[in-house]
């Protein structure tokens, strides 16, 4: 029973981290920033320090302590992720890094991504972003898959857990892990304020951790066995 509860709690923590990072890449305002700061403090109480990405997480917590005001941060968000005199410096969308504008590459990538959402049974609501390939949408998708894993673990449903882990690894491999490092490099080079640089560094470290961590979880549960 203890192992079952620990598995469910770990999956819930991972869900919370994905949702936190997803919200952090939405346009900032006073309320959202306050919620993010409170969420970061709450998630930290669940033992983030046991994971390999903890140094980057603590760096992000420090960034919140030194965070500029909402208005200034919003200007930086627009400059980096939306428009600037140099164009969009760091587009937070998969298509920029993986699809050619020629030969229908963009349409093919977006269609493939939408098919993946339908196959996973994920309701995509871009909210404050314009495209289904935005990093916030992809991180919310991973959060939903972790929620299913946590629910399956809580009910001793190993088939549910096994499927959720399979879907997590397939999605992270095909999408965020395949392009986010290049995005993070651009942000690191373009953000003198360093808040979004630390955010992308922490998110990148988390995605790399998950890419290695999920297969180990998959081996730890077999379909048909109790979690």
Which tens digits make up the pLDDT trace of 93-119?
Answer: 999 999 866 556 888 899 999 999 999
For every residue of 49-86, DSSP letters joined together read GGSTTHHHHHHHHHHHHTPPPHHHHHHHHIIIII--BT
d(CA 117, CA 124): 7
**What pLDDT score was predicted for residue 166?**
96
Helix (H, G, I), strand (E, B) or coil at 88: coil
Question: Which residue segments constitute the domains of the chain, with CATH numbers given?
Answer: 2-220 (1.10.3480.10)
| pLDDT tens digits for range 131-174 | 899 999 999 999 999 999 999 999 888 899 999 999 999 999 99
- Greatest mean pLDDT among 43-52, 126-135, 175-184, 189-198 lies in 175-184
Beta bridge partners of 93: 134
pLDDT band at 224 (very low <50, low <70, confident <90, very high): very low
Distance CA(91)–CA(101), nearest Å, equals 14
CB of 117 closer than 8 Å to CB of 124: yes
Q: Are 137 and 99 in contact (CB under 8 A)?
A: no
- Alpha carbon of 203 to those of 21, 30, 78, 133, 213: distances in Å? 7, 22, 19, 16, 15
Distance in angstroms between the alpha carbons of the first and the last residue of the chain: 9
**pTM across the whole model:** 0.91
pLDDT at 29: 93
Residue bearing the bigger pLDDT, 206 or 2? 206
pLDDT digit string (tens) for 4-47? Answer: 788 999 999 999 999 999 999 999 999 999 999 999 999 988 88
Cα–Cα dist 33/222, whole Å:
40
pLDDT above 60: residue 214:
yes
């Amino acid at each position: 029973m203890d192992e079952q509860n620990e598995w469910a709690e770990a999956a819930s923590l991972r869900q919370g981290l994905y949702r936190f990072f997803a919200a952090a890449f939405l346009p900032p305002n006073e309320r959202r920033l306050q919620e993010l700061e409170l969420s970061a403090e709450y998630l930290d109480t669940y033992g983030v320090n046991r994971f390999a990405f903890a140094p980057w997480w603590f760096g992000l917590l420090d960034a919140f302590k030194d965070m500029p005001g909402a208005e200034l941060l919003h200007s930086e968000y627009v400059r980096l992720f939306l428009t600037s005199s140099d164009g969009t410096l760091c587009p937070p969308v998969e298509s920029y890094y993986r699809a050619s504008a020629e030969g229908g590459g963009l349409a093919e990538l977006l269609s493939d991504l939408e098919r993946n959402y339908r196959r996973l049974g994920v309701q995509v609501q871009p909210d404050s972003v314009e495209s289904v390939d935005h990093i916030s949408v992809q991180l919310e998708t991973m959060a939903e898959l972790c929620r299913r894993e946590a629910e399956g673990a809580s009910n001793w449903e190993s088939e549910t857990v096994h499927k959720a882990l399979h879907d997590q690894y397939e999605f992270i491999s095909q999408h965020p892990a395949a392009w986010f490092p290049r995005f993070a490099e651009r942000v690191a080079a373009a953000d003198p304020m360093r808040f979004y640089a630390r955010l992308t560094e922490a998110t990148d470290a988390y995605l790399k951790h998950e890419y290695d961590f999920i297969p180990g979880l998959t081996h730890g549960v077999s379909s048909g066995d109790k979690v």
